[in-house]
Structure 1
Amino acid sequence: MKQVWRKSAAVSAHKSVEWRSKMSDHVAYALLVYTGLQIFVTVNALKDGASSILPYFALVLLVGLIIPFCHHFEKRWTRLSDREAHDPALAGAFKRDLVTIWALAIGMPLAMTGAIRILLSL
């Protein structure tokens, strides 16, 4: 009977969430989404009214600036011990960080595009 319990405990421990790898995955995908949105959405807005290359350098700078923010979130989760990395009590903090990362990844390019369109219409 004890052996059955140990196996089920090992299976449930194996199936538990590993916060470190999940955060790394989300950071990587968020950076891809952010960069894609910056390139395709914002550059299309710039094509309508930009006659210099300076706005494109600003885009490169913005892509470079998001990396430290994402690294901050990833670093916070990669520092966890093996025990903490599987702790279900961290689910709330993980979700909060995910919402922040994805809000930045999607919101910043869209806000930038809106700001560019407003500035170009003046």
Structure 2
Amino acid sequence: MEVLMSLIVGVLTACGVYLTLRGRTFTMVLGLTFLSYAVNLFLFATGRLVVGQPPVIAAQMAGYTDPLPQALVLTAIVISFAMTAFIVMLALKAYAELGNDQVDGRAGQGGEP
């Protein structure tokens, strides 16, 4: 299971970095979303998932699940949603002013800015 989780986190990170480095705003937003998914899975996997255990310590229970990674993932989801909304609005404003969706503002490969 650890190999599968690390492989998934690695693939999401690689796809996120590749898409973030592309020249268009939509692929940049998609890449940032993949990166946030990879971070969420990584944070969730650091808690050593235990099935059937409560997230609080009780006297009658033999063990418990660490609640900190769950709280960090919940916070990261909220932050990534806000960041995605900000980037989308920034991209829409840039598209309205520049007339294209290139990250650097150029019309094409050799076009004028």
TM-score between the two structures when normalised by the length of structure 1: 0.41
Q: Answer 1 or 2: higher relative contact order, Cα 8 Å, separation at least 6.
A: 1
User: Which has more radius of gyration?
Assistant: 1
More helix by share: 1
TM-score normalised by structure 2 residue count: 0.44
